C-alpha cells in the first residue's frame, strides 16, 4: 500500500512511518522541520529511517530505506500537491503534521491558524481531488475542554475548548465531517491522549519531568499536583493508528466519517507519575507547586471502547514499563550521546 504520512519527523509520525515501513508498505513522508522544538531531534528521527538531509534543499525528494521517500516541505506549499504528490497513487493519507502545544498557542496563535486550519484545509482539498484516498488525521483529547464527565466519550459535547490549539483541532473535525458528507471521502479522526515514549517531544511532561530530575533542577508541578493524565505509550498508539490505516472497521454499518479516542484508558495521578520517574532514576524531584496554567485541564481519561469494537485496539503497556523505556532512551540520546560528541 502507498501511504502519505505528514509530520513524519515528528514524534508520532516517525513511529507510524517506521512501523508501516517494517510492514512492507511504500511511504512518502512530509515534514517542514520547523523549530518549535529542536530540529536536531527531528533530523535524528529521520536518520533512523535512512534519511540524511545534509545538503538537501526545501521541496526536494530524498530516498531513504525500504521504499521510504522524504520531502521537506510545508503542507501549505501548493507545489507539494501539484508537483510531488500528483499522480503518485497514494491510497491513504495519515495526516499528523500540526502545530502542537497548548501553552505555545496562547502566545503564538497565528501559527496554529496557519498549520492546523489552513494546512488541514490543503490536505482535505488534496483528498477531494483524489476521492479514493482514505484520510486518517490527528485530533486531540484537548477538544473535550472544560468537560467534567469522565471517561471522555466520543459522544460528549465538545463545544468548550479552553485553548486555541483545542479550538483548531475541533475545527478540523468539523471540516472533516463536512467534506466527508459532501464529497464521499472516508475520513477518520483520532483524538490522541498524552502520548509518551522514546523519541518523545521535549515540551511534554514525561520529558520535562525526567530532564529536571536527572539534572537536579526544580520541577514545576501545576495545580498543586491535583491533576491526572491518560498517559499512552507510543507503541500502543502506533499499533492503533496502523490498524486504522491498514484495515476496514469490523462490521459493515460504520459510516465514512468517524472520530475515535485513542488512549490508555488508565489515567495516572501526577504525583504517582513523578514517583515512578523517581523510582526508575533513583533520584528525588525538587518539586515546586504552582497554580493551574491557562489552557490546561485537570483530568483526561479516554473511553476507547469504540476503537476496540471497530478495530480491536487494546493498549497493553504499563506506565512503569513505558517510562523505563523512555528514560533509557533519554539517557542514551541526551546524556551518553552528547557526552560522546563533546569528547570526540
Residue numbers annotated as active site: 165
Q: What is the DSSP string of 232-244?
A: EEHHHHHHHHHHH
What stretches of 53-104 adopt beta strand conformation (E)?
A: 61-63, 68-72, 92-95
Q: Cell 482535505 appears where?
A: 124
CA distance 277 to 263: 20
Angle between helices 270-281 and 205-214 (to 10 degrees): 40
259 strand-pairing partners:
189
- Say how many C-beta atoms besides its own lie within 10 A of residue 109's C-beta: 16
Q: How many residues are given for the chain?
A: 344
Burial class (CB in 10 A: 0-12, 13-18, 19+), 277: buried
Residue of 200, 139, 169 whose CA lies nearest to 15: 200
Q: Cell 508498505 appears where?
A: 25
Cell readout for 175 is: 471540516
Contact 268, 319 (CB under 8 A): yes
CA distance 181 to 158: 20
CB environment 66-86: b (16+ within 10 A), e (fewer): eebbbbbbbbebeebbeebbe
Phi, psi dihedrals of residue 265, rounded to the nearest 5°: 60, 25
Q: Cell 466519550 appears where?
A: 153
- Helix ranges, the chain (H): 11-22, 39-48, 78-79, 104-107, 109-112, 119-129, 164-183, 205-214, 234-246, 270-281, 305-311, 319-330, 337-342
Amino acid at each position: 500500500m502507498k501511504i502519505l504520512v505528514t509530520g513524519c519527523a515528528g514524534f508520532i509520525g516517525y513511529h507510524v512511518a517506521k512501523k508501516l515501513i517494517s510492514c512492507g508498505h511504500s511511504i512518502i513522508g512530509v515534514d517542514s522541520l520547523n523549530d518549535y522544538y529542536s530540529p536536531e531531534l527531528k533530523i535524528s528521527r529521520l536518520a533512523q529511517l535512512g534519511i540524511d538531509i545534509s545538503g538537501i534543499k526545501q521541496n526536494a525528494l530524498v530516498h531513504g530505506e525500504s521504499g521510504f521517500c522524504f520531502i521537506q516541505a510545508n503542507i501549505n506549499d501548493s507545489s507539494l500537491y501539484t508537483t510531488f504528490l500528483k499522480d503518485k497513487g497514494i491510497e491513504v493519507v495519515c495526516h499528523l503534521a500540526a502545530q502542537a502545544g497548548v501553552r505555545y498557542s496562547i502566545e503564538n496563535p497565528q501559527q496554529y491558524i496557519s498549520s492546523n486550519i489552513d494546512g488541514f484545509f490543503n490536505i482535505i482539498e488534496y483528498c477531494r481531488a483524489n476521492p479514493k484516498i482514505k484520510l486518517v488525521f490527528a485530533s486531540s483529547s484537548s477538544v473535550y475542554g472544560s468537560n467534567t464527565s469522565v471517561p471522555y466519550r466520543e459522544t460528549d459535547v465538545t463545544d468548550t475548548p479552553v485553548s486555541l490549539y483545542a479550538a483548531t483541532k475541533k475545527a478540523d473535525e468539523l471540516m472533516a465531517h463536512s467534506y466527508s458528507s459532501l464529497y464521499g471521502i472516508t475520513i477518520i479522526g483520532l483524538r490522541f491522549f498524552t502520548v509518551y515514549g522514546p523519541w518523545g517531544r521535549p515540551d511534554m511532561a514525561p520529558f520535562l519531568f525526567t530532564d529536571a530530575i536527572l539534572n537536579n533542577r526544580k520541577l514545576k508541578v501545576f495545580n498543586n499536583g491535583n491533576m491526572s493524565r491518560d498517559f499512552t505509550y507510543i507503541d500502543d498508539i502506533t499499533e492503533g493508528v496502523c490498524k486504522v490505516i491498514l484495515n476496514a472497521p469490523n462490521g459493515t454499518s460504520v459510516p465514512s466519517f468517524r472520530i475515535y479516542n485513542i488512549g490508555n484508558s488508565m489515567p495516572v495521578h501526577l504525583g504517582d507519575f513523578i514517583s515512578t520517574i523517581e523510582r526508575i532514576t533513583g533520584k528525588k524531584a525538587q518539586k515546586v507547586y504552582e497554580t493551574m496554567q491557562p489552557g490546561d485541564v485537570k483530568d483526561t481519561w479516554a473511553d476507547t471502547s469504540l476503537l476496540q469494537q471497530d478495530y480491536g485496539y487494546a493498549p497493553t503497556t504499563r506506565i512503569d514499563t513505558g517510562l523505563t523505556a523512555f528514560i533509557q532512551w533519554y539517557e542514551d540520546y541526551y546524556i551518553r550521546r552528547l557526552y560522546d560528541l563533546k569528547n570526540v
